[in-house]
Amino acid sequence: MKSFNNHTTLYRFLLNLFFVLSLSAFNLNFSQNQIQSQTPKSILLQEKTTVSENIFYKTNKEGSVALDIYSPKNSSDEKHPVLIYVHGGGWIGGDKVIHADSYIENMILKLVEKEYTVVSINYTLVNKDVHFPLPIQDTKDAIRWVRKNADKYHFDTNNIGLFGASAGAHLSLLAAYTEDNEFVGAPELSPYSAKVNYVVNNFGPTDLNKLLHTRVGNVGAFFVSLFSKKIVDLRDKLILGISGYDIKKDKRKVIDYFKTLSPVTYIDNATPTLILQGNKDKIVPLKQSEILKRKLDKKDIKNKLTIVEGGIHGFGTTDKSYLNRLVDEMVDYIVSQKK
């Protein structure tokens, strides 16, 4: 009861669990339906880059996992720095497709103009039967695949970075901060390193226990359920999808496992990090980025947090000129990390 001894705590719980409520666009059974975009697939990327699509980079117990490559046109055999893009979708949806008129499309175009190659990856999505660590194993294996295939695709393996949005930012941070011997996936890729030079985080979760309030007791959850049982049910289903554990029966196992899946756990091994998040984000609270920055500062890890004024989750309401400035900031940051 002490976790809910005032209205402020209850409000924060409900507000943060909006993250779970937003997933109702899929369904309560964790189907792997893709997130429906309002815009079609990018045509500009097809026109202005050399595109290699649907390349299978690994096979796991759930099937084959693919990626797309966007490279400079008419380039020589010179090796290009690589940015790996990891899509969002609450770990249960989304895919590697880049949509037209999105800030992601704009960013990729600007990077390719600067002679970068961008690799957009799929990863295994979770559901009631499929859980972590598959998504993070896939993300790290994509980095290993880039190294394995450097000669074929002219990748500069001395310059590899990660960029993720939402759940993809969580995976990017986790991949960037963990050691090579953690979250090892496909045996044929394990000899290659998954190290990267930097990570760009757009509104990603950094502490899953805080985000999903796993430490709230059954009594507290009961009181929240009086206001919205749907929120609590969806939160429980998401926890099950990620961890494979029922929070009602295995609370301690969930908390311990979520600690191993939270980027803030691995700060000692962190890489330079650029963080962008809106101050009106009601899905992943800004506090998640502030916690990460505070821990990075404490360990003297180079980082920057850019707070997007009025920005919601996904920056969907942000003015286009403002978004362009944010894209330029990210591109400049990426270029500044080049060795």
Q: What is the 3-state secondary structure (H, E, C) of 175-199?
A: HHHCCCCCCCCCCCCCCCCCCCCEE
Cβ distance 284 to 314 under 8 Å? no
Q: Which residue has the tokens 């900031």?
A: 329
Confidence check: pLDDT of 178 > 90: yes
Q: Which of the two residues, 233 and 194, has the higher pLDDT score?
A: 194
Confidence check: pLDDT of 17 > 90: no
Helix (H), strand (E) at residue 153: helix 150-153
Q: Over the chain, what is the mean pLDDT? A: 88
Confidence check: pLDDT of 162 > 80: yes
Cβ distance 170 to 164 under 8 Å? yes
Report the C-alpha gap between 264 and 247 in whole angstroms. 21
Q: For position 107, what pLDDT does the model report?
A: 98
pTM > 0.95: yes or no = no
Q: For position 132, what pLDDT does the model report?
A: 98
Q: For position 233, what pLDDT does the model report?
A: 80
Confidence check: pLDDT of 184 > 50: yes
The DSSP bridge pattern shows strands 63-71 and 117-121 to be antiparallel
Q: For position 228, what pLDDT does the model report?
A: 56
How much of the chain exceeds pLDDT 70, in percent?
85
Q: For position 38, what pLDDT does the model report?
A: 66
Confidence check: pLDDT of 104 > 70: yes
What are the pLDDT digits (tens) for 32-72?
Answer: 233 345 689 999 999 999 999 999 999 999 999 999 999 99
Confidence check: pLDDT of 310 > 70: yes
Region 23-34: what's the mean pLDDT?
A: 33
Q: For position 37, what pLDDT does the model report?
A: 52
Confidence check: pLDDT of 247 > 60: yes
Diameter of the chain measured on Cα atoms = 65
Q: What are phi and psi for residue 333, nearest 5 degrees?
A: -65, -45
User: Angle, nearest 10°, between helix axes 7-16 and 218-227?
Assistant: 80
Q: Which of the two residues, 323 and 235, has the higher pLDDT score?
A: 323
Q: What are 247's two structure tokens?
A: 């929070």
**Beta bridge partner(s), residue 50:** 71
Q: What is the DSSP letter of 313?
A: T
Confidence check: pLDDT of 29 > 80: no
Q: Which of the two residues, 1 and 133, has the higher pLDDT score?
A: 133
Q: For position 225, what pLDDT does the model report?
A: 47
Report the candidate in 235, 238, 318, 337 with the shortest Cα–Cα distance to residue 277.
318
Cis peptide upstream of residue 187 (ω within 30 degrees of 0) = no
Report the candidate in 20, 19, 9, 16 with the shortest Cα–Cα distance to residue 235.
20
Confidence check: pLDDT of 279 > 90: yes
Q: For position 83, what pLDDT does the model report?
A: 99
Q: Which of the two residues, 22 and 191, has the higher pLDDT score?
A: 191
